[in-house]
Amino acid sequence: NSFTGQTFETVENAFCRIVNASNNSEVARYNLSAQGGHTAMIMAKVYRHNNEWKMHAIGETASGRTFHDLMPAIAPHA
């Protein structure tokens, strides 16, 4: 999220990525600048299932400056 409230469309080359640290491979990459006037991105849900780490890609834009502001957008993915 952008704590200042600046939208990602005004940030040149704004992106976010998730990397697997064990082999340095890129798991997911989101181009934040190309998706419009939002201030946050709900990228993925990371969780444990049967003693293994799992990731579910979401890629949903949202608006909010803080975690608390984003809770209504995050809650459906919990």
Give per-residue pLDDT as tens, 4-28: 888 888 888 888 888 989 999 998 8
- Read off the amino acid at residue 10: T
CB 17, CB 41: distance < 8 Å: no
What is the C-alpha separation between 45 and 73, in angstroms, rounded?
A: 13
What is the C-alpha separation between 5 and 64, in angstroms, rounded?
A: 7
Q: pTM for this one?
A: 0.71
Domains annotated on the chain, with CATH: 8-77 (2.60.60.30)
What is the C-alpha separation between 62 and 51, in angstroms, rounded?
A: 31
Q: What is the pLDDT of residue 71?
A: 94
User: Alpha carbon 57 to chain centroid distance?
Assistant: 9
Across the range 61-75, mean pLDDT stands at 91
- 57: which strand partners? 44
